[in-house]
C-alpha cells in the first residue's frame, strides 16, 4: 500500500510541475494584442486553466502525503 501511494505521490508531483511549466509558457506567449483586447483572451483562459490544474495537482499531492502519514501511523 505504501509503495502504491509513493508512486501516486511522485506522479502528482510530476503533474504539478508539468502544469506549472505549461502555464508559464502560455503566459509568456501572451502578445500585446491579447493585453489590449476586450475581455479575456484565449491565451489568458489557457493560462488560467493550466494554473487551476496546478492547484488541483498540488492539493492531490497533499492528500496523498496525508494518506501516507496515516498509513504509516504518523498522524
Confidence of residue 2 (pLDDT cuts 50, 70, 90): confident
pLDDT at 60: 97
How does pLDDT run across 3-60, given as a tens digit for each residue? Answer: 999 999 999 999 999 999 998 888 888 776 666 767 777 777 888 888 899 999 999 9
CB atoms within 10 A of CB 14: 12
DSSP one-letter string for 16-46: HHHHHHHHHHHHHT--HHHHHSSS--HHHHH
Measured distance between the N- and C-terminal CA atoms of the chain, rounded to whole angstroms: 17
- Rounded Cα–Cα distance for residues 72 and 41 (Å): 47
Contact 68, 2 (CB under 8 A): yes
Amino acid at each position: 500500500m505504501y509503495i502504491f501511494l509513493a508512486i501516486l505521490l511522485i506522479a502528482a508531483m510530476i503533474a504539478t510541475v508539468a502544469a506549472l511549466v505549461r502555464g508559464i509558457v502560455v503566459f509568456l506567449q501572451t502578445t500585446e494584442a491579447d493585453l489590449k483586447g476586450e475581455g479575456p483572451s484565449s491565451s489568458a483562459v489557457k493560462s488560467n486553466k493550466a494554473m487551476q490544474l496546478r492547484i488541483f495537482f498540488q492539493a492531490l499531492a497533499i492528500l496523498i502525503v496525508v494518506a501516507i502519514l496515516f498509513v504509516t501511523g504518523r498522524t
